[in-house]
A and B are shown apart, each in its own frame.
Chain A
């Protein structure tokens, strides 16, 4: 949209990004998975196809259907017209749980093209790069220090959230490709040495493996035997190096790792597990549903407590002392934790798990191989191509710009794979392919659309959980059971089909107002053109949500323009239904991020 000051120009719907933004969930997804597209397939019980739409885009639908951070859900339009968004993440799992054998749809290993690429780490980023490049005939060597692939998806996500079988299957869909060779239990200690081999390019997807510690807190050294770094501890549990924990456990931190730590501790011997966090409860980084799950497993979350010391008695950790604080926010919203000057709080414990963040660490990358690092010791990368200052070396996932999540790693991997392909083929890295876009009318006849346009009023369906006693007794028993097919269908019906776009052709409009009159959410207005702020105020319902665009037409015969506020359009199709001249039409918009290879 144009900046204020000028009258609005007609919206350029030929620009794929305009309609892409209307599909809020897809737009918010780092990998831009076509969400409504696969939700419709689920509603049609076409689970395998729904899975493949996901697999093409996000590579790990079964994993993400259980563990994704779900940036799509807060963006979901449904959350703007009622209480709760569509349970997008859980629907993805419905597709994964009910798919048939998909091996026949997996891409063939392409004819060898003579180029070799090394990939460091077998986490989501490297695996996604390998998947994208394998059909093109690259010889892909994946290195990982662990005995199995999956990276942090395996070491940090507990089995009660992500069963091993699901992860194994999705890793194998990739690594079964003949162009991919895995070198597990093989640690890369020197990038220089790796570069000395005859690789045409190297991709680094080694994650952010260093958990933050509290090295200077009194008692840290003395209590070391019973103080663990959260991510390392989770990894040790996952690979079964650790199988028990003390009865009283304190978990420090307020992110999802802290939630995984405390819930894991509950399952392997911790009967009194507490999460103690510096910040107020509302500011915690953990996803709300993860906090809920912890609470339902009798784990209290004590907020506004800043660690003061590990209390050691007779050489053994017996508890921790905390300063009680309150949060104050300045005008810019920056938080300051102010001591309440009360007596420090003491909590007894047998073990402490420190889950206060993680960071990148590249001790194995020499500093004399043309890879520039910034002052935070992060590699200097091109934010579009993910190429480092050494043109042969590419980064992606947490290794690139610090800890994010699986879906972000996958999104970056797709771009890195394109860059690696362009680089190996001697093309310019800036010559990147645009998205694949289709826009197809859904009109079949009077009152008939080829999408299910009716808008149901159902509230969000709840996912059933396993019996609590059983779940707490078995570290590997999955807690969330997923939607049944029936519930999956009902939940899928809640999707508003935001990808079925309202397309307006001004040459056909006779300004009869039928669309204005029928629109249930009063999105459409015919008004005089003006500067954007005035125009937004002049609409039938003022367009207050500035994150949402206005769709405006060119001048109509009366001199007015059509202005549609995209904010709460239900995509019900009634405007097109009531339009006598088909100036409105409902057209399905499919936006696909182009990958290095056609999957």
Chain B
């Protein structure tokens, strides 16, 4: 048995703005199949959190059931985590977020966990604009139960068993857009250059940030006839304009031709730099929906940032809930006394 990760890291490993090394964001060694796309997504999350300098103890990872939902064990080992019931990750995330809005919430789900058993929960967490990152590791199959077709398997795509899928697929990005998600992106586990800035922007976004990551199942769904295999995705993928994420603390040093770059300032002052893309206006929901449709009709997969609402108002804001975490409220806050009660009653008379 040799499956032990050495303690040594590269001697030139850097420390981030919060004083942590990348190793501080690692988790346990993955037990997924060798080559699983999900491991790349885990590493993209590690890279993002390390580069952003988030404090590991201020992050909570929440997941449902499935290969994807196992992955929070494999990243951010020093963060909080809750591996919940199949399709019920959004409820747990909602509860946690309501209790403490000061943490960063990273939900990890899969295509069946979100598009089948969890479809109802997914719809409502998107509608409520809960402040969280919602990543779907979308491999178009039930990997944990030997690769049956899932609700995101494209029509005609076939996995290792070889039977083409006869049913229409759920397109989670379109659905998220229609349901009011305020940050919607699609990416590919095999392209960290695109995925890492997207996750960083999603963590920084104030509201529901949804990323549909096509993440091939190497064991059951990486065949030439599958539309979620490495080869097919690489050949049929198109990206919206290249994107950079500029965190609030850093000085903007890049110099682009005017008009070539679109800047989108997020809630806390971080900036997304979008290289100009004529086809898509990322701040227009309809433009995003249209672009997805048009690419789909041509048999292309559109990836990159699809939509962002920089003025997003998250669930706390809409609900006018208390800003402090509940655990910080003392007796005085919770029981304001007879005088306050009388005042409320008086206002209702």
- A residues with a Cβ closer than 8 A to B are 80-82, 447-449, 452-455, 457, 510-514, 516-518, 520-523, 541-542, 544, 557-558, 568, 570, 572-574, 577-581
Contact = CB atoms under 8 A, between A and B. Distances in A.
B39 A520 contact: no
Which 4 A/B pairs are nearest by Cβ-Cβ distance? A580-B35, A455-B6, A453-B2, A517-B43
15 contacts: A455-B7, A511-B190, A512-B218, A512-B230, A513-B192, A516-B43, A517-B39, A520-B9, A521-B10, A568-B10, A568-B11, A570-B6, A572-B2, A578-B35, A580-B34
A12 B37 CA distance: 30
Interface residues of B, number: 33
A457 B35 CA distance: 27
B20 to A, nearest CB: 16
B35 A581 contact: yes
A579 B35 CA distance: 6
B338 interface: no
Contacts of A574: 3, 5
Main secondary structure of the interface of A (DSSP, over half): loop
A454 B2 contact: yes
B2 A452 contact: yes
Interface in B1-35: 1-13, 30, 33-35
A522 B26 CA distance: 13
Contacts, number: 101
Given A512-B230, A520-B9, A580 B2 contact: no
A273 to B, nearest CB: 40
Contacts of A557: 231, 234
Contacts of B190: 511-513
B36 interface: yes
Given A579-B34, A580-B35, A570 B2 contact: no
A595 B219 CA distance: 49
B258 to A, nearest CB: 29
A512 B5 contact: no
Contacts of A577: 2-3, 34
Nearest to B26: A520
Contacts of A541: 10, 12-13
Nearest to A523: B10
Contacts of A448: 1-2
B2 A522 contact: no
A580 B218 contact: yes
Contacts of A512: 35-37, 40, 190, 216, 218, 230
Taking each of A511, A517, A580, which has the highest tally of chain B beta carbons within 10 Å of its own beta carbon?
A517
A446 to B, nearest CB: 9
B2 A449 contact: yes
A455 B8 contact: yes
Contact of A447 (B1, B7, B9): B1
Contacts of A523: 10
Contact of A514 (B2, B35, B219): B35
Nearest to B22: A522
Taking each of A453, A511, A513, which has the highest tally of chain B beta carbons within 10 Å of its own beta carbon?
A513
A408 to B, nearest CB: 31
Given A455-B4, A512-B216, A513-B39, 16 more contacts: A447-B1, A448-B2, A452-B2, A454-B6, A511-B190, A511-B230, A512-B36, A512-B40, A513-B40, A513-B190, A514-B34, A523-B10, A568-B8, A574-B5, A577-B2, A581-B35
Contacts of B230: 510-512
Contacts of B42: 517
A520 B35 contact: no
Given A455-B8, A541-B12, A578-B35, A510 B2 contact: no
Interface string B38-75: 01101100000000000000000000000000000000
B222 interface: yes
A573 to B, nearest CB: 6
Contacts of A522: 9-10, 13
A453 B7 CA distance: 13
B37 A520 contact: no
Nearest to A565: B10
B2 A544 contact: no
B7 A578 contact: no
Nearest to A521: B10
Contacts of A454: 2, 4, 6
Given A81-B11, A510-B222, A513-B190, A578 B39 contact: yes
Taking each of A448, A510, A542, which has the highest tally of chain B beta carbons within 10 Å of its own beta carbon?
A510
Contacts of A516: 43
Contacts of A580: 33-35, 218-219
Interface in B227-249: 230-231, 234
A572 B35 CA distance: 17
Nearest to A454: B4
Contact of A82 (B8, B192, B222): B8
A544 B12 contact: yes
Contacts of B37: 512
Nearest to B23: A520
Nearest to B39: A517
A513 B195 CA distance: 13
Contacts of B8: 81-82, 455, 457, 520-521, 568, 570
Nearest to B230: A510
A447 B3 contact: yes
Nearest to A82: B8
Contacts of B4: 454-455
